[in-house]
């Protein structure tokens, strides 16, 4: 695996406050890396350092093999950025914004026109390409920003809260585009608050709290790492004896809520098997059976709270 | 293509200049200001009752037109773009800070030249004869670059509030006009006034413009050109260096 982003001990201090505190991590080629953290944790500051918008106070970061401090232009030529706040020129049309980006990334006029046409079609803005951006909705602006970041076909894309505050249609369109881009080989560095989004999209996530990285792993591994006791929710078509359930193999506890039983176990496989046997023995049909794994939300809360303590 | 190469960065600076012209200069109020300012300057001086000959006035009027137009918009571009977050967009693109500053300078240079040509045309229409035409246009070009660099220097303080910069800009620009031989000929200035005048690039520009229209001058022509060129180079390098230092504070 090749590290597309290599951050080593990077730090940013604003006055007396340490926004990012000696963090190090790698992002591998072809992966979608989620960067999660509560408000003010240092996500945007880290993204801005990695994209060369602000310099780190200490530490080094290489992006696409170039040191972002000493060779910023070469690094920036290879990636695109979708910032948290839409920053297209509102006095220009979508077409003019894209053509400007084409020129800033050194595309020929013909290539910039071709890419602008393709991208506006891809984000569903072709019909409104000659309208000034000030008349666009938030979702349309965000889709335009994504198109602007893709004008030069970058191998790496930074996105800072790309779906924050967007309607469902725009959110789904952007997430679907990101998946497609990743399938085509684009590496994605995604900052988000949205755990579900990170869970569904990211190959690995890094969790930052108070400027420090508290965990980096695949979402499923993070979820599993935080809890060794699992919950299983089961309901039957008739009354079953509670004592019998608590006595099943692997079950450490069972509580009844409504028509369901919530069962605690350290061994999900053994418990599910014994539940099936139990239902046959008591002539009860299993109506629902759900394994309640810890969510990424749980992992996030646990990890960020632990770091706070 | 080497994106960090000089010519590639100049091309990208030109893209920024075109964007500036489209967004900030091709605006009704800005164009109206640009066209009306020289007209009203002529009216004010001709009807002011000071009985100064038009051949003297023209150098000051051309000087003020170029100085005020080339420094009119450029100081506010960085604060505007900083507050609209579009500066962050530029900063994340493969363009150097120098290229961004140079792009802004090109736009204000072109705007300054365009409006100043109107002033020159009015002067010619009022019966003045231009003796050294090529010299005038070369002088306007150098001075426009110089004043654009001054405009960008005024934008160095890393504030994203345009009104703060515009106030600072007025505080610096108006005194400069008074010490540059526009209202009082350099020959009539007291020694302390002359000592101040040599530190203003506008002094050399107005002296050169006077030379092109009347064939008279206070400083030797070569001194005027050299001084204006040195000011241009120093201000351009200075503004690029300072903006590079303050840019991260705007983000």
Q: What is the pLDDT of residue A100?
A: 96
Q: Which of A52, A74, A96 sits opposite B3 (nearest CB)?
A: A74
Q: Flag the least confident range among A143-152, B51-60, B115-124.
A: B51-60
Same domain for A71 and A11: yes
Closest CA to A107 of A70, A150, A146: A150
Domain final residue pick, A99, A121, A153: A153
What is the domain-level CATH number for residue A239? 3.30.70
- Does A88 contact B90 at a Cβ distance shorter than 8 Å? no
Same domain for A208 and A144: no
Nearest-angstrom CA–CA distance, A145 and A51: 16
- Domain region containing A145: 84-153
B168: phi then psi, degrees, rounded to nearest 5:
-60, -40
* Total domains, chain A: 3
Taking the mean position of all CA atoms in its chain, how far away is CA A241? 44
What is the domain-level CATH number for residue A70? 3.40.50.300
Same domain for A309 and A195: yes
Q: What is the DSSP string of A165-181?
A: T--HHHHHHHHHHHHHH
Q: What is the pLDDT of residue A162?
A: 86
In eight-state DSSP terms, residue A300 is H
Cβ proximity of A190 and A202 under 8 Å: yes
Nearest-angstrom CA–CA distance, A158 and A188: 6
B217 — contact with chain A (CB < 8 Å)?
Answer: no
What would the 3-class secondary structure string for chain B be?
Answer: CCCCCHHHHHHHHHHHHHHHHHHHHCCHHHHHHHHHHHHHHHHHHHCCCCCCCHHHHHHHHHHHHHHHHHCCCHHHHHHHHHHHCHHHHHHCCCCCHHHHHHHHHHHHHHHHHHHHHHHHHHHHHCCCCCCCHHHHHHHHHHHHHHHHHHHHHHCCCCCCCHHHHHHHHHHHHHHHHHCCCCCCCHHHCCHHHHHHHCCCHHHHHHHHHHHHHHCCCCCCHHHHHHHHHHHHHHHHHHHHHHHHHHHHHHC
Cβ proximity of B94 and B171 under 8 Å: no
pLDDT greater than 70 at residue B51: no
Same domain for A160 and A172: yes
pLDDT band for position A305 (50/70/90)? low
A59 — contact with chain B (CB < 8 Å)?
Answer: no
Mean pLDDT over the full length of chain B? 88
Cβ atoms within 10 Å, residue A120 = 20
Per-residue pLDDT tens digits for A120-161: 999 999 999 999 999 998 889 989 999 999 999 999 999 998
Same domain for A163 and A40: yes
Cβ proximity of A218 and A47 under 8 Å: no
Cβ proximity of A206 and A27 under 8 Å: no
Taking the mean position of all CA atoms in its chain, how far away is CA B132? 21
Cβ proximity of A202 and A296 under 8 Å: no
Nearest-angstrom CA–CA distance, B102 and B100: 5
- Does B88 contact A76 at a Cβ distance shorter than 8 Å? no
- Does A55 contact B91 at a Cβ distance shorter than 8 Å? no
Q: What is the pLDDT of residue A230?
A: 77
Mean pLDDT across the stretch A89-96? 95
Distances (CA, A) of A59 to A21, A120, A210, A218, A219: 10, 39, 18, 25, 27
All structural domains of chain B with their residue ranges: 6-250
Per-residue pLDDT tens digits for A38-87: 888 899 999 999 999 999 999 999 999 999 999 999 999 999 999 888 88
Same domain for A164 and A101: no
Same domain for A206 and A72: yes
* Whether ipTM exceeds 0.85: yes
Nearest-angstrom CA–CA distance, A157 and A170: 18
B 33-92: CB under 8 A from A: 84-86, 88-92
Q: What is the pLDDT of residue B39?
A: 73
Same domain for A123 and A167: no
Same domain for A167 and A31: yes
Q: What is the pLDDT of residue B37?
A: 72
Same domain for A273 and A161: no
Per-residue pLDDT tens digits for A176-200: 899 999 999 999 999 987 777 888 8
Nearest-angstrom CA–CA distance, A276 and A255: 18
Same domain for A74 and A1: yes
pLDDT band for position A297 (50/70/90)? low
A66 — contact with chain B (CB < 8 Å)?
Answer: no
pLDDT greater than 60 at residue B224: yes
Nearest-angstrom CA–CA distance, B140 and B148: 12
Q: What is the pLDDT of residue B50?
A: 62
Same domain for A46 and A27: yes
Q: Is-above-0.95 flag for pTM?
A: no
């Amino acid at each position: 695996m090749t590290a597309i982003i290599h951050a080593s001990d990077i730090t940013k201090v604003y006055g007396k406050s340490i926004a990012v505190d000696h963090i190090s991590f790698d992002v591998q080629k072809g992966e979608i890396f989620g960067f999660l953290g509560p408000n003010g944790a240092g996500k945007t500051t880290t993204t801005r350092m990695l994209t060369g918008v602000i310099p780190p106070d200490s530490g080094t970061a290489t992006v696409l093999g170039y040191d972002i401090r000493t060779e910023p232009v070469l690094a920036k030529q290879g990636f695109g950025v979708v910032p948290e706040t839409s920053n297209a020129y509102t006095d220009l049309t979508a077409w003019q914004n894209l053509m400007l980006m084409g020129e800033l990334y050194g595309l020929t006029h013909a290539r910039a026109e071709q890419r602008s046409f393709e991208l506006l079609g891809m984000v569903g803005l072709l019909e409104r390409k000659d309208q000034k951006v000030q008349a666009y909705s938030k979702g349309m602006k965000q889709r335009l920003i994504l198109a602007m970041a893709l004008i030069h076909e970058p191998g790496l894309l930074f996105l800072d809260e790309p779906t924050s505050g967007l309607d469902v249609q725009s959110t789904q369109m952007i997430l679907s585009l990101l998946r497609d881009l990743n399938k085509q080989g684009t590496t994605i560095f995604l900052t988000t608050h949205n755990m579900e989004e990170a869970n569904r999209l990211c190959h690995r996530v890094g969790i930052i709290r108070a400027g420090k990285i508290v965990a980096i792993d695949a979402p499923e591994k993070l979820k599993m790492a935080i809890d060794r006791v699992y919950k299983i929710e089961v309901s039957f078509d008739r009354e079953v004896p509670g004592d019998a359930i608590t006595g099943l193999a692997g079950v450490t506890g069972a509580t009844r809520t409504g028509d369901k039983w919530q069962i605690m176990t350290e061994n999900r496989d053994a418990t599910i098997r014994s539940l099936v046997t139990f239902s046959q023995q008591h002539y009860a049909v299993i109506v629902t059976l759900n394994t309640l794994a810890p969510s990424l939300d749980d992992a996030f809360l646990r990890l960020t709270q632990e770091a706070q303590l | 293509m080497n994106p960090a190469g000089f010519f590639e960065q100049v091309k990208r600076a030109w893209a920024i200049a075109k964007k500036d012209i489209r967004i900030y200069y091709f605006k009704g109020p800005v164009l109206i200001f640009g066209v009306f300012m020289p007209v009203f300057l002529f009216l004010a001086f001709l009807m002011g009752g000071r009985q100064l000959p038009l051949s003297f006035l023209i150098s000051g009027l051309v000087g003020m037109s170029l100085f005020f137009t080339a420094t009119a918009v450029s100081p506010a571009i960085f604060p505007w773009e900083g507050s609209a977050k579009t500066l962050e967009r530029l900063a994340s693109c493969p363009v150097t800070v120098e290229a961004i500053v140079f792009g802004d300078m090109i736009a204000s240079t072109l705007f300054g030249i365009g409006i100043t040509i109107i002033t020159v045309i009015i002067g010619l229409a009022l019966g003045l004869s231009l003796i050294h035409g090529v010299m005038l246009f070369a002088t306007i070009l150098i001075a426009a670059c110089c004043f654009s660099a001054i405009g960008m220097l005024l934008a160095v303080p890393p504030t994203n509030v345009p009104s703060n910069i515009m106030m600072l800009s007025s505080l610096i620009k108006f005194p400069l006009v008074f010490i540059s031989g526009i209202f009082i000929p350099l020959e009539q200035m007291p020694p302390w006034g002359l000592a101040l005048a040599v530190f203003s690039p506008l002094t050399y520009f107005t002296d050169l413009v006077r030379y092109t229209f009347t064939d008279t001058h206070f400083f030797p022509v070569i001194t005027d050109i050299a001084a204006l060129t040195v000011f241009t180079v120093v201000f351009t390098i200075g503004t690029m260096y300072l903006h590079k230092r303050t840019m991260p504070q705007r983000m």
